[in-house]
Structure 1
Amino acid sequence: MPLHNYGVWKATPVSYVVEHEEDDNKSPHLSLYFSDKGGPSHHSGQMFRRLRRHSGHKIHRAVRGNKEIPGLFRAAINIKSGDKKESRLTYWVDHDFKNHPIVNSLTDLSSGYYPLEETEPNPAGVRLDYIRSNLFNINTGRILPHDIPGSNNDMIDVLEPEVKQAIDDNADIYLFGEPFNDRKGIHNVHMNQGNVKQFANDDGVFQDGGLLIHYPRSGRWVGVFLGFASQAVHTDNSDGHAISSETWGHYLEREKRDTELTEDSVIIDEALINPESDSSRARRRSVTLTNPKDHTMPLSSWKIKNSAGELQVLPPNAALDAKSTQTFEIPDVHLSKLGDTITLLNEEGLKVDGVSYRSQQGVERQPVAFVH
C-alpha cells in the first residue's frame, strides 16, 4: 500500500552524521539534523551550532545508538539498499533545478511539515514522481555503492558535499518522504515505486522522496534524488508496481546493455509554449522531436502528455528518419504559462523522454529549448 502521510518538510539544516562501512554495513544512513525556523527546535538548533563551534568537534561520523539530538529533527537518508542481491543506489543531482515548475509552489512555504493529499498533480502540484514529474535528466544518473576506497565513487562521496554546503550556507531544505511515527523526523527520502517484491508494499505513484535545497542569497536551487539500482524504470500508473524487468541498474550501466531500451530512442528538443496567435500563418503550440539513432523511428500511436494528463496522439504515419528532427503541433495538449511538464510516451504507454519548464519560460514567445 502507498506511504502513510506522505509530505514535504521545509526546514534549516543544522548538522549531519554519516555511517561508513565500519559503522553499519547492512542499513547505513546519512542522518541530516534540521530545525524548523521559529518552531520548538529553533533555539536548540542555535545552541547546537554554538556548542559545535566552540568545541571544534564536527559530528560527521556515526555513533551507534546515539542518532537523536534533543531539540532537532532527523532525516534518515538511505545510502545503501537492503536488497542483498543489489545494494547499490541510484543518484541524480541537478545543480540548476530552478527551471522545474515545482519551485513555484515551494518558495513561499513557511517552515514546517506539510502533508500532501493524494490528488491528481497539476502544474502547481508538489508531489514528486521520478517517472512522471520529469524532475531530472535520467541519463545523468549514477549507480553507486555505499562506501569504497577512492574519491567521488560512492554514495558518501557525492551526497556529503551537498549536505555540508547546505548547512554551511544556511540554506532552506525541502525533504520529501514519510514522517516517523513519533514525528521526530522523516524517512523514505528516496524513490518509492517499482520496488522488488520484498518492498512492493511501499509502491505508489506521486509519493517519491527527495531533497531540494534553496540558497536564498543566490536564488540557486539544487535537486538531489535517490533511488535503488534494483527499482524498475517503468511502473504502473495506478499502483506504482513494476511493469517491466528493466531496472535503473540495467539502464544506467550502458556498457552492459544487450538490447536497445525505450529511453533515449527519441528526444524532446524544444517546445513552443505560448505562440503569438492561432492564425494560419503563425506557429502553433508544438514540440520538436529528434531521433538520435542510426535508423528510422516509427511514431505511430505515440503520445505527448502534460502534467494535467491531456494527451496528443501523433499522426498514424508519423516517423523520424535517422538523425532527423521534426516539429509536431499539439492542439489537444495545453501547456501552462505557470510551468508544466511534457512527456513523450511510446505506443505501449512507456515513457521515452520528459522535460519541464518554469513559469518565466512559459510566457515567452520563443520556443523553450531543453538540454539533455
Structure 2
Amino acid sequence: MPLANGYGVLIGTLHDYYRDPPDDFGRYYHGNLVIHAPAGNYKCAIDVDPKNMPDGVQWRTVRLRALDFAALSSLADGWHPLASDPSSGALDYIRAAVLHPPVIVHLLRFSSCLNRLLAWLRWNPPWKSGTGFQALTELESVIYAGTRFFVFGEPFSSGLGVHNVHQNQGDPVGGGHDAENWIWQDGGTIVLKPDGSLLGFLNKFQTQSFKTDQTGRPA
C-alpha cells in the first residue's frame, strides 16, 4: 500500500552531509543529507542497511536526460507531494523511463538482434551489490558533484526530513516491510551538476525483487 505519510520530492541545496556512526562491526546504516529549502533544513536519511548480509545493499548510478527531467527541474525549491503515478514525476525503479535512458551504440547499421539486446539492457541495467560502506562511497561521489538536489521519498511524520529514500516495492510478503509495497513511490537521490547534466543514485536491498506486480509485490 502507499507510504503512510505520503510521497514526494524535496528540492534544495546541500547544507551538510554525514554518515551514521558505524556499529561494532564497522557497518554503516545511513548516509544523511541535510538539504536547505525555504522552510528550513531537511534531514534526508538514505538507508544502506545491509540486513546482516555481506552484500545486502544494491545500488546503481544513472545519467538522466535533462529533457526527461524538465518538469521537476522547473519546480521551486521546497517539498512537493507527488501522486504515485507516472504523470506526476514520481520514481519507479522498474517502470520509469527517465531512470532507463536508451542505450546508445554508435554504429552505422543495427541488426534486429542488436536492437533487441539494447532494449533489454535498457530495462535490465546492472546493479552493484556490496556493503553499506561501499554504497555510501559511491553515493558521496554523486553528492559532491551536485549543485541542486532532488530527494525522493516519504516525509517525516514530524519535523523536516525525508526517509524511505530507497526502493519501496518488491519486499517479500511477510518480511516485515511488505505493507509499504507500492508502485511509483520509490525513493532516490538526483543531483544537478554545474554543467547542467543530471546524475541519480538509486538504492535498494538485495531482499527486494527486481520484478513486481501492479501492487508492488514481488512478481
Same fold (TM over 0.5): yes
* Match of residue 66 from structure 1: none
Residue 180 of structure 2 is aligned with which of 202, 205, 214?
Answer: 202
Residue 88 of structure 1 is aligned with which of 44, 56, 69?
Answer: 56
1:166-186 CA distance string (max 9 Å, x none): 2xxxx1111100011113100
1:73-100 CA distance string (max 9 Å, x none): 110001224x345762111102x31256
Contact 1:21/1:146, CA 8 A, preserved across alignment: no
Cα gap change, 1:88/1:219 in structure 2, threshold over 3 Å: closer, same or farther?
same
* Match of residue 112 from structure 1: 78
Higher RCO, 1 vs 2 (CA within 8 Å, ≥6 residues apart): 2
Residue 78 of structure 1 is aligned with which of 44, 47, 63?
Answer: 47
Paired with 2:75 and 2:66, the residues of 1 have a C-alpha distance of 18
Cα gap change, 1:178/1:159 in structure 2, threshold over 3 Å: closer, same or farther?
same
Kindly report which structure 2 residues correspond to 1:315-334, keeping only aligned pairs within 5 A, or say none.
none
Aligned residue for 1:165, secondary structure, equals coil
Aligned residue for 2:178, secondary structure, equals helix
1:97-134 CA distance string (max 9 Å, x none): 12562x1211210011011124x423xx3011111113
Moved over 2 A (4+): 19-27, 83-87, 136-140
Residue 131 of structure 1 is aligned with which of 94, 102, 116?
Answer: 94
Paired with 2:66 and 2:26, the residues of 1 have a C-alpha distance of 37
* Match of residue 274 from structure 1: none
1:141-178 CA distance string (max 9 Å, x none): 2012123xxxxxx1122112221232xxxx11111000
Contact 2:86/2:96, CA 8 A, preserved across alignment: no
Aligned residue for 1:21, secondary structure, equals coil
Residue 86 of structure 2 is aligned with which of 98, 102, 121?
Answer: 121
Amino acid aligned to 2:156: F
Q: How many residues align?
A: 193
Cα RMSD for the two superposed structures: 2.2
- TM (normalized to structure 2)? 0.80
* Match of residue 335 from structure 1: none
Amino acid aligned to 1:181: S
Contact 1:80/1:87, CA 8 A, preserved across alignment: no
Question: Could you tell me how far 1:40 is from its partner in structure 2?
Answer: 4.0
Amino-acid identity (%): 26
Q: Which runs of 5+ in 2 are unaligned?
A: 101-121
Kindly report which structure 2 residues correspond to 1:187-226, keeping only aligned pairs within 5 A, or say none.
187-196=163-172, 197-215=175-193, 217-226=194-203
Paired with 2:28 and 2:2, the residues of 1 have a C-alpha distance of 22
Contact 1:27/1:78, CA 8 A, preserved across alignment: no
Paired with 2:166 and 2:195, the residues of 1 have a C-alpha distance of 27
Q: Which runs of 5+ in 1 are unaligned?
A: 42-71, 148-153, 244-372
Cα gap change, 1:2/1:27 in structure 2, threshold over 3 Å: closer, same or farther?
farther
1:292-350 CA distance string (max 9 Å, x none): xxxxxxxxxxxxxxxxxxxxxxxxxxxxxxxxxxxxxxxxxxxxxxxxxxxxxxxxxxx
Paired with 1:185 and 1:131, the residues of 2 have a C-alpha distance of 25
* Match of residue 16 from structure 2: 15
Amino acid aligned to 1:132: R
Aligned residue for 1:242, secondary structure, equals coil
Paired with 2:24 and 2:39, the residues of 1 have a C-alpha distance of 31
1:61-82 CA distance string (max 9 Å, x none): xxxxxxxxxxx2110001224x
Contact 1:232/1:242, CA 8 A, preserved across alignment: yes
- TM (normalized to structure 1)? 0.48
Kindly report which structure 2 residues correspond to 1:27-46, keeping only aligned pairs within 5 A, or say none.
28-36=29-37, 39-41=38-40
Cα gap change, 1:100/1:226 in structure 2, threshold over 3 Å: closer, same or farther?
farther
